Every structure is written in C-alpha cells, then in structure tokens.
Amino acid sequence: MARRQTPLRVIPLGGLDGIGKNMTVFEYGDDMVLVDAGLMFPDDEQLGIDLVLPDYTYVLENEDKLRGIIITHGHEDHTGALPYLLMDLTRKVPIFSSRLTLGFIQGKLDEHRIKNPKFKEVKDGSHITLGAFQIDFFSMTHSIPASLGVFMRTPAGTVMHTGDFKLDQTPIDGVRPDYSAINRFATDGIDLLLSDSTNATRPGFTPSEAAVGPSLRHIIKNAPGRVFVASFSSHIHRLQQVCDASVAVGRKVVVTGRSMITNTKVARELGYLKIADENIVDAYDVEKLPDEKIVVLCTGSQGEPLSALARMANGEHRSLSITADDTVIISATPVPGNEKSVQGIINSLSKIGCTVFDKSQTLVHVSGHGSQEELKLMLAMTHPRNFMPVHGEAVHLRAHARLAREVGIPESNIFLMDNGDTLELSGGKARIGAPVDSGVVYVDGLSVTDADPVVLRDRQKLSQDGIVTVVATVSRRGHKVGDVEISMRGVSFANDDALVSDAQDVVRGQVAKVSDDNYAIETLRKSIRNGLSNFLWNRTHTRPMVITVVMEV
Amino acid sequence: MARRQTPLRVIPLGGLDGIGKNMTVFEYGDDMVLVDAGLMFPDDEQLGIDLVLPDYTYVLENEDKLRGIIITHGHEDHTGALPYLLMDLTRKVPIFSSRLTLGFIQGKLDEHRIKNPKFKEVKDGSHITLGAFQIDFFSMTHSIPASLGVFMRTPAGTVMHTGDFKLDQTPIDGVRPDYSAINRFATDGIDLLLSDSTNATRPGFTPSEAAVGPSLRHIIKNAPGRVFVASFSSHIHRLQQVCDASVAVGRKVVVTGRSMITNTKVARELGYLKIADENIVDAYDVEKLPDEKIVVLCTGSQGEPLSALARMANGEHRSLSITADDTVIISATPVPGNEKSVQGIINSLSKIGCTVFDKSQTLVHVSGHGSQEELKLMLAMTHPRNFMPVHGEAVHLRAHARLAREVGIPESNIFLMDNGDTLELSGGKARIGAPVDSGVVYVDGLSVTDADPVVLRDRQKLSQDGIVTVVATVSRRGHKVGDVEISMRGVSFANDDALVSDAQDVVRGQVAKVSDDNYAIETLRKSIRNGLSNFLWNRTHTRPMVITVVMEV
C-alpha cells in the first residue's frame, strides 16, 4: 500500500466573505507560511466595533511551524491585523515584503509600540527559502506601488498567489507586472492559482492608472482658485499624478489629513513619491500664496466624518477652508457602504458653491483591480491545474469561477472555499480537507475578543429603543416597597412626567403582587421588568431595554 | 402710494434636503393649498426612528385657510405624511388626486384607521377652484401610473409644479405627458416653475420605461427554472411588463411580499394592472406547477431584511424557495444607503448558485426621473419667469439651477430655497419672504415629536459603547456605603469578573472620599460617575454611558 504523501495545505482564514481581512495559511509538514494579515472595517451592523480581524487561532496553535509572514502590499486589508498577530506570537517571526510596504507597516507597528520587528525586504525576482517552501516574488500592478505576487514550490506541489492586481501596461512608476516571471512559473507548472476576484463581475479591462492623468491635469490647469484632491492616502501613483500636474502648472502642494501626511512622508523618504521640497507647502503657510497657486491633497474620499475634506467642507478645519471659487476632485470611488457619506460631503460642497468633480462626470478615478478580461488573461497565462478564487464577496468568487470555466479549467478543479476551509494539494491534485477554527475577532477599545453576538444584539436594541433603568428598594421580607427610581436614556418619552409617574406605580404594583410566601428577589426582579416592559409597549409602542435592580434594605 | 398687492406665497416644507418628505404650501390671502404630504425613511444616523415627517406646524396654524390637499402621485415620499396630517387637522380637508393614487392612499389611511376621507378624484384635464386658486391637472410620466402635474392661477400670478417626472414618449399605459396642456399654460404665462431635480446631475435623456421590456422578456423566456423579479411594488408599469412577458411565454405569476400583494390588488381592481385571474397563482399552489411555468413578483429590491426576496434568499420564506436552477432579476436600483443591503442579498443568492440579473449587467431597470436633457426641455417648453428647483439634495438643486441658467433663465430669477423659506410672487416678480417654522418630526413608536437630538445622541452613544448602571446604597448621613450593584449591557467586558469587582471598589472609594461636611447626594452621584468613567477608560479604552443611582437607606 502506497504511503500517502504529505500534502500542501492551503487555508484561507479571511478574504472569502468580503473585501477585507485577507490572510492565507500555507502549510507543508512542519513548515507554515502566512500570506497577508489584514483587517476589515466594521459594517453598520457591527455597532461600536473598532476593527474586525480574522480569527487566527490556527496560526497561534501552530506557531512553532510558522517560518515567515509575507505581505503582498501595503493596504490595511492586507496588513492591518499584523500588529495584533505580532503581539500574540511569542517569538519574532520574519516579515517579508517590499520596501514601501514595510515602511507603511513600520508606521502601524510604531502606533502599537511594537519594537524591532524582523523585517526582510524582498522585491521582484527575490527568492527565499522558508523550511520546505521555495518562494519567488514577482511584481504586480495595483493601486499602491511595490505590490508583489508570490510563487511557492513545495515537495507536494506549487502555488501562485497573485495578490491584488490589475494588469497595467503603463503604470505610473514604470513597474509592470512581471509577465516573464509569471510565464516562467507557468512553464514549470502551477498546481494551484489563488487570484484576486474583486472585479470579477466587471466586463472588459480596467483602464490604466495613467488614464486619469489627463483629467487631473486638465482640471488642475484650468481651475480658477484652489484645487482640493481627496484620494486614498496610500494611492501613491495617484498622488504622484496630482503632484506632477500641480508642479507642471506652477502650483504648490499642501498635504492635509493625518494618514495623508504620514503616508506621503514615508513614500517620499523611500523614493516612491517624487516631489521637490520647494513644491510642498505647509497648511499654515497657505495664506501667503494666491489661490490659483495651490493644490491641496487631502483625506476624506470616503466621506469619513472626521477627515480633512469633511472638516473643510463643514468649515471646521483649523487652517484650510473651501470657497465658491475652489474646485474639489474626489479621486476615488466609495467603498460599498460609504456611498451616502460621500454624497453628504458632495452636498456640503454644493452648498458652498464650489465645483466638484467625481468619477460620475470625469475620469478622475480608475479601479486598482483587474476586470474580467484581465482575470481571464491571468488564468490563460498561468493555466493552473487547480484554481481558488480569493479576495471577494460570494458573488465575486462565483463570477471568477465562471471565468475560469470559460477559459477551460474543469469544474472539478475549481474550489469555492469558505474561510477556514482547507485545500490539500498533492501530486497535482487538490481536495478539500478538514476545516480549521476560523471566524472573526472584534477589536473594541482595548478588548480583542471573539465576536460576541450578545453584545452586538444589546447595542442594536439600545440604539433602537433606548434603555430604562429601574431601581426599587424593598424591605428584607419582600413586598414592602421603598423608593422607586427610574432613569431613561435614548427613549422618546423621557420628558413625559405623567408616564414616568405611572411607570413608578406599575413597579410598586408589581412589588405588591408578590406575596411573602414565594418571595425571591429574582422573581421580583423579573416581574418588575415584565410589568414595566408591557406598560411601556402599551403606552409608547416601543420596547426599550429594561434593567431592574432590586435592593433589599 | 400704491397699496402692495397680496402676493402668492410658495413655501416648501420638505423635499429640499433630500429625496423625501415632499410638501409645498401655496398661499394666497386667506386661501391655502398643499401639494403633496410625503415622508422620508430614516437614515443610519436617525437611530431607532421609524419615519421622518416634515414639520407641518405652519399648515396646522393656518388650518382655517386650507382649501385642499393635492397629491401628485402615489409614492410614499409624496403621500406618507398624509395619515399624520389628517389626524392633526380638526376638520376634513378634501384630497385631490388620481384614482390610483387615491387607491394607494386609501390603503395607508385604513392602516391608521382613518375613516371617510374626503377624496376628490381628478385626472388629466381636470379643473378645480379652491378659494382664489384656479387649478388645472395634467398627465406626467413617472415610475408609477397616474402621475399628475399641477398648474395654478391666482390673482398674484401663476405657478406650475411638475411633480416627479420623466418625459416618456412610449409609456407602458400609453399615457404621455400632456405636452399640449403644458404648452397652453406656457403660452398663458408661467410666473414660477417648480421642477423635479432628482436626476439633474445625469447627462442625456432617461430611457423610456419600455426599454426594459426586451431584457425582461428575453430573461423570462430563456430561464430554465423559476424566475423571481424583485421590484418596487408601486411600479405598476414594471409589474405590467413582467406580467405580459410571463403570460406571453405561458408562465403563471405568483405575487409575494406584503406591499406587492396589496399594491397589485389595488392596481388590478382599479384597472391599472392588467392580468387575467387564471394567470395569477397563489404562493401555496406553486408546487403544483413545473418550475419553468412560474414567475414570482416579489418585494425586496432594496435589500430589506424582512422582504420576500431576503427571506427566500435566506431560506426563511414560508412557501417559496430559490434553487440553483432559478433566475433572479433585481429590477430596481438601490436607493442611496441601501447599496450594501442589496449586495448582501446578491451574495446570498450567489451562494445558492442561481443566476442573478441586475442593472449592472442588463437593462432591467430605468429611472423614473428625467435627466438633464428632459429638465432643460421642460424649462424650454415652459419658459417660466422664475424657477425653483425642488425634489433633491443640495447637489441636485444646484445642478438644476445651472441647467436653468443654460437655457437662459436669469440668475436673479432662480431661487435655491431651503425648507421653510418662502417665495413671494406678485406681478410676475418673485422675492424671498420671511421664513416659517420648519424642520422634521420623528415618528418613534406612538410618539410623533419634534426631532430631539439628545435622544439620538444617547442612542448613538449606547450603540457604540453600551451602558453601565451602578446602584449604590449609602447611609443617610452619606459616606457609609452598603451594596454596590453594577449591571452592564452592550459592553465588551461584561464577562470580565475581575474588572467588575475592581469597578465596585472604585465606587466604594468614591463614596468614602466624600466627606460628611459637604455631602450632597448629587455630588456623590457625579463623583461616582466620573470615577467609574475614568476607571473604565483606563482599563478598556471605551466610554460606556454610566448611569448612577444612589439610594439613601
């Protein structure tokens, strides 16, 4: 009987239920490599949650195997969980990524006071060995410079992970996808491809980042007053185009917004963003220049209420304001869920009377993710034996699977996975293995805990109908009631004195109802709560949370 | 000295700060006419609010002048405040609208148990007199049948209100905009035009409703299994096209979802939706038919969590389920703010594996509002002396004003108003008059009250960080502390016993600190609250609301 070969196990811990918290485990025998460690921003349902992380229990349980962490690029959905993971690991694990990505990560680790991370810079063409893994890095184009794809060889097979990508033939920094490396790996044979699914429902080819240049230049050149450009602060190619257009027409660039200041600083220091010092002006010095000599690069392209753009639009920025003669370019697209916030800012700007350009009227933004033709091209170039669409919501993963079938990958070799599922690769064949612990972890203040649905349900209820707290003092033997105090928060009837007084009577009535014989403080508490809840429903048709405290005196 | 002529006052009470709660007062001397009485659905910030109404205090204060209420069409942003307004009025005021609109309104009034409203049916060509107002109605095309525009003559001048409209030359029911009436009024002279601004930022011409027919027919004809079509339940033209396509290929139509059942019933009874009884099947009888003979018309096009489509997508519908062989058409566009909910449903459907069509891939939806070319055409046909863009957010009203300038209306004759502003018209001239009370009113359970920002701020805070209630009993003279009870809801550390115990110590410490000399229960309460808040911030980096009750025993 043939002894079963050790398989290469591929385990996505995040990234398969939305755009966010990307993290994939690659495990062969006693060696484990992690690709990406991202976070997700909470949605409207996750009330009061600061950040959402993938549950990486499996990584911690196998910490002794972990040979290295690879980060494909510097977006937070690929790097944001790293500070938490590093704090949870008991030893320093090397982190491999490009210079810019490591620069961005350094800033995040500094905020968390994580000292001396073990950074290992890699780039297009780098080759490293991590236990049984032979790993090659290759350039990819995306909406952040220095993005890398990864090719891994193990005794059980080979895997390519594209990272996030588009196929941009005219990238701003001249660094094209390394087609020659991709095709070399393909010639060697790719047993499994993991590829970015973000735009798998979008037909055609995503335009080059260079396509937005002419619109930006045109607007900046012809604007009568100041020009404000809101964009993602990590989108260095976009910022470079804005800087170039500004300098070309003799305008100085002002940078405002915390992450915009931090990221442009890092990118300039590391040589990724090129603009001479004399063309950068401090926000406090801006009044010395005429308006038509100024371009302001700012945060706020997602309508974030505390961002520089929001504060300027609402007249709350310390040093900068927007007037009717100014022009605002929103050089981004709203992330799903942010549409209404962005529209709110556009309304505020409209009231000021300034001219607003967004992607609905002008080509001031293009996506950083490849569309269907690029995804099919990647599949055709790599002709993998097996395929796992990653980085997307259910609809995108399934659309990507359809594209794979179109280019000839057999249905049985396409794996639609969930977070925590494992794919076992061996001898060119892939099969689903036993799943591992997975899920999400919430960061809520200092607490980093398993998602607790009770807390969120309580917050949901509190946010809808508010809370009523009733404190009743009773005599030791039960039904003699003393003071009844009622406080309310977030209820629509807080100022209705008659109602409050009636509610106190209801509480006294409930206490009186409980006889000496079967007196128990818990029974009393519950009957007060139920009596008060029913009273409030009948009188107000709302169901606030009712907290009852019974004090025996 | 010439006696100043009585002006016609035009007062928008809603509709100028978003798509919703449309309501405009027209007042001449002792006569007042109200056009539309709509509601708005709360946004994410308006936590726990059921509905948002315009503050119509001004109407109630002048109730004796109110000669009639005109409703242009049956959408809730034009009719939804009517039940509340009618309950607040002390006498029956006649309501003028088309047969279908009155049918939809009847349903709403029944829900609120409002008996015997004074309905007056009008239609294209109807003429009525309300005090000093001579009023003509004319047909308009919109995403609901029987929409009307209004032309009013008063001694002080004439006004046209377009209502919501697009200019559809091939409407499904054959009822075109009454261009001949519009041009006749224009020839007589229009002193003021109020026109729909919803799509004022959209270039071109909105396609005819008929344009979606071929796509719907193609999909319904070629689908292998059941076809589910989610749309607005009041979009009778759309439903008609789905019914026609279904019947043409021998499919029966199943209607599900509360408002879809109600609205199709009303529209069929009144002759607006035409489908024979034998082509309608009850949801419970659907299993008797083969899948390829079924089309399901359902609610849920906005991703509403309790809608028929959401329940079917999540396997929670009583009688209908969706399988991988089925096809779902989302024949609508998400209202701003609903994008993520709709995407959630599409993801659920993708997991089922069914085929999903939405407007991103196929022409299965067109807007009901006219784009820039239609708005300019309306301005050109009516060539009003003065113009007030209505029905839109700030950005739309301002874009519409720009279109008006383009077609030659002088800047000084274009009025960008806010809710509550008044425009006084007299002798062909318009000027801004004194504003009236305006704003919004929240419906929250049974309470219909002025928007209370404190309640919403409290709910916001509760939803973010939860609440901690502390009850401390103290002896009458102050600092002898008895029991300390702490309850928490919606906090991330509720299960941290050590923290709770330390918190109790903090409370005891605060009580001990207050000396007998300056003892006051309020001081004690505040110092407990502050001490506990600081403790919780230091230990958890969250700021729950802290409710402190001090009971003297």
All residues of chain B having their beta carbon less than 8 Å from the beta carbon of residue A398 are 350-351, 353
Q: How many CA atoms lie within 13 A of B75 on its CB side?
A: 24
Q: How far is CA B495 from CA A449, B483, B523, B529, in A?
A: 11, 20, 30, 21
Q: Given the structure tokens 């949870």, which residue do they identify? A: A88
Q: Given the structure tokens 């009631």, which residue do they identify? A: A481
Distance CA B303, CA B356 (A): 14
Tokens of B153: 């003559």
Distance CA B474, CA A226 (A): 63
Mean pLDDT of chain A: 94
> Are B361 and A201 inside 8 Å of each other by CB?
yes
* Cβ-based burial of B112 (10 A; exposed 0-12, middle 13-18, buried ≥19): exposed
Calculate ∠ Cα A279-A304-A201, nearest 5°: 100
Residue positions forming the annotated binding site of B for substrate? 365-369
Which member of B44, B47, B398 has the closest CB to residue A350? B398
pLDDT value for B3 = 57
Distance CA A527, CA A539 (A): 18
Distance CA A5, CA A427 (A): 8
List the CATH code of the domain at B8-204+367-450. Answer: 3.60.15.10
Sign for the CA dihedral angle at B502, B506, B507, B511 comes to positive
Short-list B196, B167, B168, B171, CA closest to B75: B196
A235 labelled catalytic: no
| B81: amino acid identity, one letter | A
Distance CA A120, CA A252 (A): 36
All residues of chain B having their beta carbon less than 8 Å from the beta carbon of residue A444 are 492, 542
pLDDT value for B516 = 60
Which member of A467, A473, A487 has the closest CB to residue B462? A467
CATH class for the region spanning A453-552: alpha beta
State residue B100 phi and psi, 5-degree precision.
-65, -45
> Are B553 and A473 inside 8 Å of each other by CB?
yes
Look at strands B227-230 and B294-298 and give their pairing. Answer: parallel
Tokens of B250: 């021998």
Distance CA B72, CA A122 (A): 66
pLDDT value for B1 = 46
State the smallest CA–CA distance between residue B289 and chain A in angstroms. 30
pLDDT value for A521 = 82
Contacting residues for A58 by C-beta, under 8 A, at least 6 apart: A11, A13, A25, A436, A437, A438
Angle between helices A339-352 and B394-406 (to 10 degrees): 50
Q: Given the structure tokens 């609809």, which residue do they identify? A: A395
Distance CA B50, CA B448 (A): 10
pLDDT-based confidence at A479, cuts 50/70/90? Answer: low
State the smallest CA–CA distance between residue A434 and chain B in angstroms. 21
Short-list B469, B463, B466, CA closest to B500: B469
Q: What letters, b where the CB count within 10 A reaches 16 and e where it falls short, cover B12-23?
A: bbbbbbbbbbbb
Please list the rounded mean pLDDT of every run of 10 residues in chain B (553 residues): 80 89 97 97 88 96 98 97 97 98 97 96 98 98 98 98 98 97 98 98 97 97 97 98 98 97 97 97 92 97 94 93 97 92 95 94 95 98 98 96 98 97 96 95 87 87 94 74 88 88 91 69 89 94 92 79
pLDDT value for B326 = 98
**Mean local confidence (pLDDT), A405-433:** 97
> Are A339 and B336 inside 8 Å of each other by CB?
yes
Distance CA A388, CA A174 (A): 30
> Are A493 and B350 inside 8 Å of each other by CB?
no
Alpha-carbon dihedral of residues B111, B117, B123, B129, nearest 10 degrees? Answer: -150
Catalytic residue, chosen from A369, A391, A396, A400, is A369
Model pLDDT for residues A326-337, shown as the tens digit of each residue: 999 999 999 888
Q: Given the structure tokens 């893994």, which residue do they identify? A: A133
Nearest CA in chain A to B397: A350
Domain map (residue ranges) of chain B: 8-204+367-450, 209-357, 453-552
Short-list A294, A363, A371, CA closest to A325: A294
Short-list A90, A8, A89, CA closest to A56: A89
Distance CA B67, CA B152 (A): 14
Residue A416 near residue A401, CB atoms below 8 Å? yes
All residues of chain A having their beta carbon less than 8 Å from the beta carbon of residue B465 are 48, 445
Q: Which ipTM score applies to this complex?
A: 0.89
Distance CA A512, CA A522 (A): 15
Residue B159 near residue B194, CB atoms below 8 Å? yes
What's the distance, CA A236 to chain centroid? Answer: 18
- Bridge partners of A192, per DSSP, are A159, A386
> Are A467 and B463 inside 8 Å of each other by CB?
no
DSSP state of A349: H
Which long-range contacts does B2-7 make (Cβ < 8 Å, 24+ apart)? B4/B426, B5/B155, B5/B156, B5/B426, B5/B427, B6/B155, B6/B156, B6/B426, B7/B156, B7/B424, B7/B425, B7/B426, B7/B433
Residue positions forming the annotated binding site of B? 365-369
CATH superfamily for domain A209-357:
Metallo-hydrolase/oxidoreductase (3.40.50.10710)
Residue B515 near residue B479, CB atoms below 8 Å? yes
Residue B106 near residue B98, CB atoms below 8 Å? no
A:B CB pairs within 8 Å: 188
- Bridge partners of B28, per DSSP, are B8, B31
pLDDT value for A478 = 53
Which member of A340, A445, A553 has the closest CB to residue B553? A553
Which SS3 state, helix, strand or coil, does residue B328 take? strand
Q: Which helix (H) or strand (E) holds A229?
A: strand A227-230
All residues of chain B having their beta carbon less than 8 Å from the beta carbon of residue A392 are none
Model pLDDT for residues A342-400, shown as the tens digit of each residue: 999 999 999 999 999 999 889 999 999 999 999 999 999 999 999 999 999 999 999 99
> Are A471 and B466 inside 8 Å of each other by CB?
no
Evaluate if pTM is beyond 0.90: yes
pLDDT-based confidence at A1, cuts 50/70/90? Answer: very low
pLDDT value for A516 = 60
pLDDT value for B44 = 82
Short-list B307, B352, B306, CA closest to B328: B352
Angle between helices B179-188 and B372-382 (to 10 degrees): 50
Distance CA B313, CA B331 (A): 16
Residue positions forming the annotated binding site of A for substrate? 365-369
Domain A8-204+367-450 and domain A453-552, same fold? Reply is: no
| B380: amino acid identity, one letter | A
What's the distance, CA B36 to chain centroid? Answer: 13
Alpha-carbon dihedral of residues A496, A501, A506, A507, nearest 10 degrees? Answer: 110
Q: What letters, b where the CB count within 10 A reaches 16 and e where it falls short, cover A294-312?
A: bbbbbbbbbbbeebbbbbb
Q: How many CA atoms lie within 13 A of B152 on its CB side?
A: 31
Which SS3 state, helix, strand or coil, does residue B257 take? coil
> Are B447 and A492 inside 8 Å of each other by CB?
yes
**Mean local confidence (pLDDT), A409-416:** 98
Distance CA A467, CA B546 (A): 12
Query: How much is the CA Rg of chain B, to the nearest whole Å?
Result: 29
